Amino acid sequence: MNANSSNSLLVVPTGALKISEYPLTDVHRDNPILLSLVIPTYKERNNIENIVNILSRLLDEAVPGNYELIIVDDDSPDLTWELAQSLLPDYPQLRVMRRQEEWGLSSAVIRGWQVATGRILGVIDGDLQHPPELLIQLLQKIEQGADLALASRHVDGGGVSSWSVIRRFLSRGAQVLGLIILPGVLGRVTDPMSGYFMVRRSAIAGATMNPVGYKILLEVIGRGQVREIAEAGYIFRERTEGESKVTWKQYIEYIQHLIRLRVSTGRLGKISQKVNFPVGRFIRFGVVGFSGVFVDMAVLYLLSDPSTLALPLTRSKIISGEIAIFNNFLWNDAWTFADVSMQQKGWKQRIKRFLKFNVICWAGLVLNVFVLNIVFNLLIPNRYIANLIAIAVATIWNFWVNLKLSWRVTDVK
Ligand code: GDD
Ligand code: MN
């Protein structure tokens, strides 16, 4: 059975980073293959043919016809994807995805798993630093009952080949930091940084993953329903071709990632899930809204106060309101909805979000005045209580409509 009937590239999924319970293709829905192995690549031109060859030989022997290799390349300037595509005729189990609108290691892995047709989803680096032979051991561990099997540098038989003292220190430091911030996840494995593992589809189906960072394993353990975990030791080999893409930026992202996972899988996250409402986001939105009040006040003072510019009140208010909206937009885009805006980079997209946000906020203001009048005149004849209710209604409106319209992850092009 050929995994790829033509030599065309895979269509890149869009929308939420969520794995479905069953493979999406009709043929495989009720009849999934055993293993889908994703190979994320960025500038791996000199490695790709070699790794595809080694993996294919290994798996053709162990699980013939019952696996697929999915290369997910982020439009590498060295045209890794093109070279990978040229291999398709020779490797019937190979599939290739070229992403142009989204990038990053973690989301690449998830996009690959989204098109996968296997019951077991795996990932391996494309640079041969992960020993391919270990795949068989990992697969066995899952077949023996583990939900997740990972290759670890820190169990028997594991290690790093020739890392400097500094790199070892940084790696262990990151692990300790992780244990402090997120013990429930990092405490379960000896090598939480591992990017070489397999997981049952059923253990992560339905959970929405976050695209941040390099460490997809944390996301899988943190958000999935992973019961039994098994490990197998491996030596992290040196690269012979190409170079690592890890920079200081990955360390920052890693810490952000830990905190985000902590928040979303902690108490607040549980409440969020139970009531099916993004509580954390709403709180951030509220904090930003509060900051807007001060911006509005300050600008109004600068423009309209008799001791400053002494402009007419209405004109001043329109300007101060608009500046506050702009302030709120920037914070919401960078913080409240950072995960969404990160997936829709570029100025055009950002301006579009701003225009929508702006229109929704003005509508919110109209709603605010309307509710104030209704409540005050018909229900509670206290203008301050009525105003509080009006503000609450307008805030929820602003939040909800912006969530659905301005920062929605677009499914259609
Ligand atoms: N699609 C895609 N997009 N692939 C990427 C990206 C990206 O933005 N960045 C890196 N990759 C690919 C690389 O081409 C390689 O195949 C793999 O992801 C790992 O990247 P490296 O840059 O080689 O990482 P490393 O070797 O320094 O770091 C590795 O450290 C861990 C050891 O604890 C990680 O990759 C882990 O997977 C590994 O286990
Ligand atoms: Mn590497």
Q: What angle do CA 346, 99, 37 make, to 5 degrees?
A: 145
Minimum-distance ligand 1 atom for the alpha carbon of 109:
1
Minimum-distance ligand 1 atom for the alpha carbon of 196:
39
299-309 confidence digits (pLDDT tens): 999 999 999 99
| Residues lower than pLDDT 50 in the chain | 1-3, 411-413
Is the torsion defined by CA of 80, 86, 92, 96 positive or negative? positive
Q: 242: CA distance to ligand 2 center in Å?
A: 9
Half-sphere exposure of 273 (CA within 13 A, CB side): 11
Q: Name the pTM for this structure.
A: 0.75
Give the chain's largest Cα–Cα span.
85
CA dist 272 to 134, 166, 268, Å?
A: 39, 40, 6
Ligand number with the minimum distance to the CA of 126: 1
pLDDT at site 1: 43
Q: How far apart are CA 362 and CA 321, in angstroms?
A: 9
Domain 26-265 fold: Spore Coat Polysaccharide Biosynthesis Protein SpsA; Chain A (3.90.550)
6-34 confidence digits (pLDDT tens): 789 999 998 889 999 988 877 788 788 99
pLDDT at site 263: 81
Domain ranges of the chain: 26-265, 277-404
For residue 244 and ligand 1, the question of a CB distance below 6 A is answered with yes
For residue 193 and ligand 1, the question of a CB distance below 6 A is answered with yes
Ligand number with the minimum distance to the CA of 75: 1
Task: From 79, 245, 247, 251, give the residue whose CB has the most ligand 1 atoms within 8 Å, as the site to mutate.
Answer: 245
Q: 105: CA distance to ligand 1 center in Å?
A: 7
